[in-house]
Chains A and B, each alone.
Chain A
Amino acid sequence: MDIGGNTGINPRIGPFEVFLPVEGSSPRLRHVGEPGFPGQLFVVEGIDGSGKSTQLSLLHKWLESKGYGVVFSQWNSSELVKDTTKLGKKKKMLTPATFSLIHATDFADRIERNILPLLKAGAVVLCDRYIYTAFARDVARGMDRRWVRDLYGFAAKPTVAFYFRVPLETAIGRLVTGRDGFKFYEAGLDIGLSDDPTESFRLFQGRIVDEYEKMIPEFGLTVIDATLPVEVQQAQVRQIVQTHLDRARNLRVRP
């Protein structure tokens, strides 16, 4: 079996490259080297309170109204894995390493069973959070940057990865009014930055923002200014998505 990793060149698969952050280190998945995926993959990234989910949901409705076959996949939603993640979070059993691995397992299940087959079938796939979330969170928890990137070597590279950039205080302001308190892992209380949940959340999210900022040039994330009005952001997103869909052929039409 030919694996692209040995050549040191990212093999092109239709509009996708199989995601190879590190030379010679990608799982030898069957889809590598197979004829192109006609589907298109759009993902949104950003800290909690950046408004990315709102934007993705608006994009979803718009694409559906245009007749595309659209499928949505959410971070941390695998039926096979979510009970284990829930157990680990509820009982506070997760270390930075197992937190990282259980989320990678969840992602792998969605990639194998969902995202890749759909892309092969020519669907437009939308992901609320993708591998960049794991890179940001796991490194903020002290995991090795390279190790985490290698771990996700089996992921497909998205057509466009939007990063919704927002100042930390704005995001926290949106969240504090929207809900009561932060959860243990969400606030990074597991790594002991502060005993106060709000303060810990602030420090932890600050680290995550730093990681996102580093990833913009590293992975070519498309930055959207998330302080702009919702409609303005959505118009930018739609325009970018439209140019990619115009170029793509063989996309599924909604039945």
Chain B
Amino acid sequence: MRQTYGKALPGMKLPDLAGKLLVLEGTDCAGRTTQIDMLRPWLEQQGHAVLDTGMARSSLAGEGIRRAKEGNNLGRVTQSLFYATDFVDRLENEVIPALRAGFIVLTDRYIYSLMARAIVRGMDPAWIRGIYSAALIPDAVFYLRVDVEQLIPRVIFSRGFDYWESGMDVFPGQDMYESFRSYQAALLAEFDKLSVEFRFETLDASADAKIVFAQLQVKVQRVLDGDSRREYLRESHSLDREYLHKVFEYAAAATMRRSPDQAVAQPREAMAANHNWATSPMSSHASRQNDGGFLQRK
């Protein structure tokens, strides 16, 4: 059964959470987004329903955090708690419902990044851990590790130094370059500590993205092979309308969150095609029931 690090939040209903929770962790510019963008279609190809989520994307606090970061008065405790609010909103309203519906949830960063950032900003590790003790223990944490020296060219030649990524609020006396080095080095040190404690699967992310992806595929496959639902997904005749409907609802909601404009314009039929139902074991089951119309149902 799925567990949390500490006491579960009210209404979590842990035994229902059948899906898989996979975490990608790493410092800024470690290539997490690139990897998730490759992992998602690959998993969908295999017939898995996938939800991806990441920091400051909650409908509750995402906008508030963005606005707060534009100003010059976001304190360290406030910042840590604002992110915790965002995290728990996504946990309760995205991750848990998706796991309940049997999704694979890919999360771009998890509590570890949030804890590392808070600790580097001088928060007591015990305090921040206590807050995140309500988080679900994931099935795997893949840690994309890149040294500071290798990060710098990535930053320079992509989007340049950013105030928060450079930790200018932590090292205000330094210029952005110096601050970036100090801040990212401090984060790395914190990540390395967490990686032992929370048993991250570390990948050398300084390699080419395709090589990292190949390694990641092997590791993800290993997690999924240990999935007790595998047989169920292939064989079960109880894969009913209700289940498929749920899967669709969440996929639609997730797509809306990622790119609202696109999703509105995208009819449900097109989304069905995107999700590669034709190649998935679930769709063959659906067609056996001669229920092609279900997928087009409004």
A residues with a Cβ closer than 8 A to B are 1, 3, 5, 24-30, 78, 80-81, 83-84, 87-88, 93-98, 101-102, 104-105, 108-109, 111-113, 141-144, 147, 150-151, 153-154
User: Least Cβ distance of A136 to chain B in Å?
Assistant: 16
Is B239 among interface residues, defined by CB-CB distance under 8 A? no
Contact with A along B121-136 (1 / 0, CB 8 A): 0111011101101100
Is B247 among interface residues, defined by CB-CB distance under 8 A? no
B residues with a Cβ closer than 8 A to A are 6-7, 9-11, 59-61, 63-64, 67-68, 71, 73-78, 80-82, 84-85, 88-89, 92-93, 122-124, 126-128, 130-131, 133-134
Could you list 12 further interchain pairs (A-B, Cβ under 8 angstroms) beyond the known A27-B80, A113-B75, A147-B133?
Answer: A5-B126, A27-B77, A87-B63, A93-B89, A95-B93, A96-B11, A97-B88, A98-B92, A105-B78, A105-B82, A113-B78, A151-B131
A105 cross-chain contacts in B, Cβ below 8 A = 78, 81-82, 84-85
Residue of A nearest to B73 (CB): A113
B76 cross-chain contacts in A, Cβ below 8 A = 112
What is the bound-complex CA distance between A151 and B6, given in angstroms? 14
Residue of B nearest to A95 (CB): B92
CB <8 Å contact, B63 and A108: no
Q: A81-B64, A105-B78 are in contact. Are A95 and B9 (CB under 8 A)?
A: yes
CB <8 Å contact, A109 and B75: yes
CB <8 Å contact, B78 and A108: yes
CB <8 Å contact, B9 and A108: no
B122 cross-chain contacts in A, Cβ below 8 A = 1, 27-30
A112 cross-chain contacts in B, Cβ below 8 A = 75-78
CB <8 Å contact, A153 and B127: yes
A28 cross-chain contacts in B, Cβ below 8 A = 122-124, 127
CB <8 Å contact, A101 and B88: yes
16 A-B residue pairs with CB within 8 Å? A27-B122, A27-B127, A80-B74, A80-B78, A94-B60, A97-B10, A98-B85, A101-B81, A102-B61, A105-B81, A105-B84, A108-B75, A113-B78, A143-B9, A147-B133, A151-B130
